[in-house]
Structure 1
Amino acid sequence: MMARFRSAPSPAVLGQFLLLALAWGSSFLFIKIALEGLSPAQVVLGRLLAGAVALLAVTAVTRQRLPRDPAVWGHLTVVSVLLCVLPFSLFSWAELHVPSGLASIYNATTPLMTLLVASVALPEERPDRTKLTGLLLGFIGVVVVLGPWRGLSGGEGLAQAACLLATLSYGLAFVYLRRFVSPRRLPALSVATVQVGLGAVIMLALAPLTATDPMRLSWPVTLSVAALGVVGTGLAYLWNTNVVAAWGATNASTVTYLTPVVGVVLGIVVLGESVSWNEPLGAVVVIAGIALSQGLLSFGRRSAPDHSDDSRR
């Protein structure tokens, strides 16, 4: 049977989607390098500060106004915690114990987590039987990646659980952004600037408690944090806001189809990380489950094209 994909999205949104995949896929490599001289909290603080500075500079050059509605700032505070502070912290800590490529594979579960949250919070995205089948297939893939038959040390097991908790946080953020922020049709740049800036403020406030370890700065560490901030946090969240607004919460989260490919390849080529057979196999199963659950891939022929979603694109 032949697979059938939906019609192609607009080139502008697709371009931002691909850039987002490259930025977030390489982030796991940069986190691993940055951890050679910084604690997890310091990595998060550095990337959010760099991202906020980059976005504020673009905002100033383009003379983009920031939102003034206190309700918007309240919503963006929630998004900042769910999309920046919490998952960044969890992934940074996890990479003390697991390879960067494996962390990027777990990041691919974001659409599954998004579907779980969307099924409750977004009536138009509640799963039917096909989506539930895809969801089940995806979580089978997670188990394959985890490889429980190999046995796990305490640190590695907790680290992999932290990766899954981070993707659940992403899922919550995607849905919250779609429900409470995207309908306001605010400029993507102002949304991303406030979101990342609030994350930097939160981490600065927590720094006396969480970021007190001695730092061992080097050029690779410094440049990695800068790349995480300017590209992986600053520009990436601008692109992400545009994609969520154009495609919806669940479809936008499928950017994680590509991030594990980028993350695993960079981990092997740059860091010399090894990959167990079950990890890429599990990633393929996860992605197949996501494709099925999102309706991006179907099997068989239909008597007529399906245009039921055209009004929402």
Structure 2
Amino acid sequence: MSKVTNRPTGGMTGREWAMLLALAAAWGGSFFFNGIAVRELPSFTLVWLRVAIAAAALLSMAWLLRIRLPTAGGTWAALGLMGLLNNALPFALIVWGQHHIASGLASILNATTPVFTILAAHCLTQDEKLNIFKLAGVVAGLVGATVLIGFDVLQEVGAEVLAQLACLAAALSYALAGIFGRRFRHMGISPLATAAGQVTTSTLILLPVMLLVDQPWRLAMPEGATIGAVLAVGLLSTALAYVLYFRILAVAGATNLLLVTFLIPVVAILLGALFLGETLLPRHLLGMSLIGLGLACIDRRLPRLLGASVQARER
């Protein structure tokens, strides 16, 4: 994978943080929707339906808005690799993993994505190098996510090793996709067209695998709850999510973008408290505080604040 450059990734703007929170909400819902759908649908069928629904929605939107899709073969080859790294491979790994481990543990393992992203960005980019604040931020974010969800889920570690390794492999795939996807901005492709191209290639990649492995014509008709979950994960957690994804990637960089994996459990806890009457416990507040500290370190807000404080004292 060749080195690519982007604008320097300093602190994000308020608009970029708002998009990141919306992306966290969309992706956070995917664990819930997958948890419903895996009761009736095998892994590859669920993943293929997810990207196929998203592809249909995004291609229709591009046609309605008269947004042109790329025509060059090299661009579609790049979109195909992006679809493999960002959709087909990690979606299949996570859904398969959720057949064997709880969603809480899967989301913690998914929260390792910034670790892989920071390491990959250090090696493969010129403007997202590793520093002590990024490292401290990742550690704080991972600990915060674990505190937020609860250490009891860690009791499962080692029980289903292959499923856990699959979730970690998905996190690595997401990280590599974030680095690779930076190039689409320089190709002059809009976020909507990039998202549409990515999920379209993912649909084509997964189709023969799904037909060969799952043989979906042998499956019983799923219930209404499963159908609703599949539609939600396709339209909200994939189509809408990837328009936001490529927009944030273009303006804020891969490291900032994949901070979203720390925010996903925060959003899930807050939505439960707001709409389901769930109680916010002290560990939830502690976990959110640690995640906030981690985000501030990686986003460079804390280093700038500390630097300003030191300068003020020196005066």
Query: Deviation at 1:291?
Result: 4.1
Partner Cα distance (2:154, 2:184) in 1: 43
Partner Cα distance (1:87, 1:81) in 2: 8
Query: Deviation at 1:245?
Result: 0.4
Give the 5 Å matches for 1:40-189: 40-135=43-138, 150=155, 152=157, 154-155=159-160, 157-178=161-182, 180-189=183-192
Partner Cα distance (2:42, 2:194) in 1: 28
Give the match's secondary structure for 1:174.
helix
Partner Cα distance (1:248, 1:295) in 2: 13
Query: Deviation at 1:300?
Result: 2.9
Partner Cα distance (2:286, 2:95) in 1: 24
Partner Cα distance (2:164, 2:283) in 1: 15
Q: Which amino acid aligns with 1:190?
A: A
Give the 5 Å matches for 1:1-313: 9=13, 11=15, 13-135=16-138, 150=155, 152=157, 154-155=159-160, 157-178=161-182, 180-212=183-215, 214-263=219-268, 288-289=293-294, 291-298=296-303, 300-302=306-308
> How many percent of aligned residue pairs carry the same amino acid?
34
Q: Which amino acid aligns with 2:231?
A: A
Which deviates more from structure 2 when the two are superposed, residues 75-84 or residues 141-150? 141-150
Q: Which amino acid aligns with 2:180?
A: Y
Q: Which amino acid aligns with 2:173?
A: S
Q: CA RMSD in A?
A: 3.4
Partner Cα distance (2:248, 2:226) in 1: 30
For the 8 Å contact 1:101–1:267, the answer to whether it is kept is: no
For the 8 Å contact 2:11–2:299, the answer to whether it is kept is: no
For the 8 Å contact 1:28–1:263, the answer to whether it is kept is: no
Q: 1:217 to 1:113 in 2, by over 3 A?
A: same
Q: Which amino acid aligns with 1:9?
A: T
Task: Give the gaps of 5 or more residues in structure 1.
Answer: 1-5, 306-313
Q: Which amino acid aligns with 2:164?
A: Q
Q: 1:30 to 1:136 in 2, by over 3 A?
A: closer
Q: 1:97 to 1:61 in 2, by over 3 A?
A: same
For the 8 Å contact 2:111–2:262, the answer to whether it is kept is: yes
For the 8 Å contact 1:114–1:168, the answer to whether it is kept is: yes
For the 8 Å contact 1:37–1:221, the answer to whether it is kept is: yes
Partner Cα distance (1:18, 1:103) in 2: 20
Which residue of structure 2 lines up, in the alignment, with residue 311 of structure 1? none
Partner Cα distance (1:294, 1:217) in 2: 44
For the 8 Å contact 1:91–1:162, the answer to whether it is kept is: yes
For the 8 Å contact 2:107–2:265, the answer to whether it is kept is: yes
Q: 1:267 to 1:35 in 2, by over 3 A?
A: farther
Query: Deviation at 1:303?
Result: 5.9
Give the match's secondary structure for 1:80.
helix
Q: Return the TM-score normalized by structure 1.
A: 0.81
Partner Cα distance (1:201, 1:270) in 2: 38
Query: Deviation at 1:152?
Result: 4.0
Q: Return the TM-score normalized by structure 2.
A: 0.80
Q: 1:242 to 1:304 in 2, by over 3 A?
A: farther
Partner Cα distance (2:102, 2:274) in 1: 13
Query: Deviation at 1:102?
Result: 3.0
Give the match's secondary structure for 1:258.
helix
Give the match's secondary structure for 2:181.
helix
Partner Cα distance (1:304, 1:152) in 2: 43
Which deviates more from structure 2 when the two are superposed, residues 95-104 or residues 114-123? 95-104
Q: 1:202 to 1:196 in 2, by over 3 A?
A: same
Q: Which amino acid aligns with 1:109?
A: T
